[in-house]
Structure 1
Amino acid sequence: MLLMTTEIRPFRIEVPQAELDDLHRRLAGARFADPVPGDEPDWSRGMPAGAVRELAEYWRDGYDWRAHEAALNAFPQFTTVLDGQKIHFLHLRSPQADAMPLLLTHGYPSSIAEFLDVLGPLTEPGADAFHVVVPSLPGFGFSTPLSGPGWELARTTEAFAELMTRLGYDRFAAQGGDIGAGVTGRLAALYPERVIGTHVNSDRGTIALAGEQLPMPENLSEAEQSELDAAREAWRAGRGYLDLQSHQPETIAAGLTDSPVAQLAWIAEKFQAWTNPEGGVGRDRLLTNVSLYWFTRSGATAARFLYEAAHSAHGWLAPSDVPAGWAVFNTSPVVRRIMDPEEKIAHWSEFAQGGHFAAMEEPGLLVADVRAFFRGLRA
């Protein structure tokens, strides 16, 4: 049972060798689906059996967890208890004493591994330096086990605001994508006097939420409507993961907790679908992310987070007057027509490269855009 304390404790990732041996044993004994004669080995029905087998074999025989564990431990890590829940976070203070505090929040199916390539550049001393805080969402990574029910977007937002207070940051900037975008926006809505500005990264797939979580735009051209229809059809075909976790998270939790191959395919399929085909994420970084889910058994509690969010009285959008910036990756002209039809967002950046996991796919572009946006807010 967690004590009610404000203490901040240093933390190191030290996966027991027995856990690593168990993973290798499970991967060695894994059963794979037989391909159906005549089927094309494409991703139209999800992750093909051959691709699952190949990646699982590399996870067992080629991927070096200890090397990546050491790379993660190169960054200062801590835990603290917020609202009764253990929260794990990275905290990198820039050598620049007056650097701007910046909260980075990941999404699903991601983790702190999403930001490893941007941490060094963001904290580099200079006019655009940041002190960076990267928490693991409750129920994700080492912010486990869950202390109880009710952890969703709104409660997480309040916990992260308290985290920044506990670290001595009265005012701070916020950035994130996916769930992280929701936390970032809600921080600005609830704490406008504390949040300097918000920066959100997204990709063209976001337009599929028009008419669902976003207003349906009017007066689209035939070409724009066609692109929107295609995006919405792709979302309908690919949203099964969300529907299941939003309604029966305990069912999928059984497979994700017992089978590393199930956890691998569950996450890898989304990385393939949501990254830019011309770039993507390296398999070692992907497997570091998957390994964090596996070793912490957080496939189950991440699913629980999506369930709690779907049944919360609070929505994903929380408007505010705090300065906001957007960076859209793998974009097209229709994205702004749908996401910002009145062009109220002063800082709107579009990139042909990258995709949903911008900090992994195009860290240099993301860092440059974050710096550019907050540069005008440093006074």
Structure 2
Amino acid sequence: MADPVAFHVDVPSGVLADLAERLAATRWLPRSARPGWAAGVAQTYLRALLERWRDGFDWPARQAWLNRHPQYLAEVDGQVVHFLHVRGRGPAPFPLLLTHGWPSTCWEFLPLVDHLPGFDLVIPSLPGFGFSQPVPDAAQIPAVWHRLMTYVLGHPRYGAHGGDIGAMVTNRLALEFPDAVAGIHVTMPAEPAEPAAGAGTPTGAERTFLARRRAAQEAGGGYAHIQRTRPDTIATALNDSPAGLAAWIADKWHDWSDGDLEAPAHMDDLLTTIMIYWITGTIGTSFAVYRDWALGSAGRPEAWAGRPDVPSGVDSKPLSAGERITTPAAVALFEEPVPAARLRRAYADLRRCNRMPRGGHFPALDEPALLAADIREFFQRLPGVHHPA
């Protein structure tokens, strides 16, 4: 297993010139019969976003900002993994693995750096996202992450945090490597096993939560169904058209972000994410985990029934009967308030569960201080773990 090598983002000028030509040649939709966001991305917003991408977004400055943070490539079990490694301050900073989701990149965690100085932060790009090589099957991701932390970076014991797909990877790390993972902090909890016969019925709060989730899947889950069932079809279009790629990702940022979508700084954050998918051509490979883990099908067992390759505890497939995550855990709920009874069925050692006062799907960007405080307070209270400041 080779030592990590330093990496810098360096986009060739020809790639930028081609992007500018494609943006200038965008063929716009006719006027929508349902203006605004009712039928998907608002065309007025998309025009403003693409105009900023062409004329107001300073990619060279953003690239220089990204390159100010130490980043590396490492070969782990034959897979090339890209990651940021920001060393903590103090005599013994605690190693903490941060895993992003979709449609995200590892860069979204950078606002946390100043809020977590006592942690040795390892922030990888998920396989098939950005500069990390795809894996043949998403089930390999937890093992690759574990070997990155232990064999490559030399941390026999570490903590982990994740949101969205990153939370699923984090939950799987706790299930697969409980002796090495000191604690986990997630913003999307594992799906618990259904109660055994005679063990009682779901509470009223849980029934309300499940009904809301079904309604949300119907209203906004089309993207996940396509990425799970026909990923190559939509990926062909998005990989060819920057306007299409921006529309696909902006639609979800509108639904999920707690930030001001119109603000130039928020647009630049969104464009940074879009730009990384564009320059690496990885929007299609980022969909692979949806196929491998039947994502976006929580409460719809027909999507994963008969598929033993889909691991338990991811968003779609519940934990097995009698299975619980035993690693000390904390859940920060920035989105739908999952009932406590449901969380306790998934986590045997739930140390902390907070309904956050604000923030959405991208809390590291929208509310970094709030997220960092919850992470810090959880790990500070774990026995046998160095308490970072």
- Name the TM-score, length of structure 1 as normaliser: 0.87
Which of the residues 201, 208, 215 maps onto 1:218? 201
Which of the residues 247, 250, 253 maps onto 2:232? 250
Show the counterpart of 1:53.
47
Asked if 1 retains the 8 angstrom alpha-carbon contact of 2:259 and 2:366, the reply is no
1:183 aligns with 2:169: yes
Show the counterpart of 2:311.
314
Give the match's secondary structure for 2:355: strand
Asked if 1 retains the 8 angstrom alpha-carbon contact of 2:97 and 2:161, the reply is yes
RMSD: 2.5
Shift of 1:339: 3.7
Asked if 2 retains the 8 angstrom alpha-carbon contact of 1:77 and 1:89, the reply is yes
1:82 aligns with 2:82: no
Which of the residues 215, 224, 228 maps onto 1:233? 215
Shift of 1:306: 1.9
Tell me how far apart the structure 2 counterparts of residues 225 and 219 of structure 1 sit (CA, whole Å): 6
1:132 aligns with 2:121: yes
Alignment CA distance shift 1:272-1:338 (3 Å) = farther
Partner amino acid, structure 2, of 1:261: A
Shift of 1:89: 0.2
* 1:50-98 deviations in Å (ceiling 9; x for gaps): 2222211111111111111111111100001122221100001112230
- 159-168 vs 48-57, greater mean Cα deviation: 48-57
* 1:325-353 deviations in Å (ceiling 9; x for gaps): 01111454x64354447996221111120
Partner amino acid, structure 1, of 2:371: L
Tell me how far apart the structure 2 counterparts of residues 342 and 163 of structure 1 sit (CA, whole Å): 27
Structure 1 gap segments, 5+ residues each: none
Partner amino acid, structure 1, of 2:61: A
Which of the residues 145, 155, 162 maps onto 2:147? 162
Show the counterpart of 1:172.
158
Asked if 2 retains the 8 angstrom alpha-carbon contact of 1:113 and 1:285, the reply is no
- Name the TM-score, length of structure 2 as normaliser: 0.85
* 1:259-311 deviations in Å (ceiling 9; x for gaps): 01111111111111112377898111111011110100010110123222236
Asked if 2 retains the 8 angstrom alpha-carbon contact of 1:330 and 1:352, the reply is no
Show the counterpart of 2:244.
262
Alignment CA distance shift 1:17-1:277 (3 Å) = closer
1:336 aligns with 2:328: no
Show the counterpart of 2:303.
none
Asked if 2 retains the 8 angstrom alpha-carbon contact of 1:139 and 1:305, the reply is no
Aligned length: 355
Asked if 1 retains the 8 angstrom alpha-carbon contact of 2:158 and 2:181, the reply is yes
Tell me how far apart the structure 2 counterparts of residues 241 and 214 of structure 1 sit (CA, whole Å): 26
Tell me how far apart the structure 2 counterparts of residues 76 and 277 of structure 1 sit (CA, whole Å): 27
Alignment CA distance shift 1:359-1:300 (3 Å) = same
1:365 aligns with 2:370: yes
Which of the residues 197, 201, 204 maps onto 2:187? 201
* 1:91-110 deviations in Å (ceiling 9; x for gaps): 01112230110000001111
Partner amino acid, structure 2, of 1:163: L
Structure 2 gap segments, 5+ residues each: 295-306
Which of the residues 58, 76, 98 maps onto 1:104? 98
* 1:145-166 deviations in Å (ceiling 9; x for gaps): x3xx6231x2010001000111
Show the counterpart of 1:71.
65
Show the counterpart of 1:272.
254
Show the counterpart of 2:29.
33
Show the counterpart of 2:3.
7
Alignment CA distance shift 1:343-1:158 (3 Å) = closer
Shift of 1:228: 4.1
Tell me how far apart the structure 1 counterparts of residues 260 and 171 of structure 2 sit (CA, whole Å): 30
Tell me how far apart the structure 1 counterparts of residues 346 and 112 of structure 2 sit (CA, whole Å): 31
Which of the residues 293, 301, 312 maps onto 2:285? 301
TM alignment of 1:109-120, pairs within 5 A: 109-120=103-114
Partner amino acid, structure 2, of 1:302: S
Tell me how far apart the structure 1 counterparts of residues 180 and 83 of structure 2 sit (CA, whole Å): 20
Tell me how far apart the structure 2 counterparts of residues 328 and 10 of structure 1 sit (CA, whole Å): 35
Asked if 1 retains the 8 angstrom alpha-carbon contact of 2:261 and 2:267, the reply is no
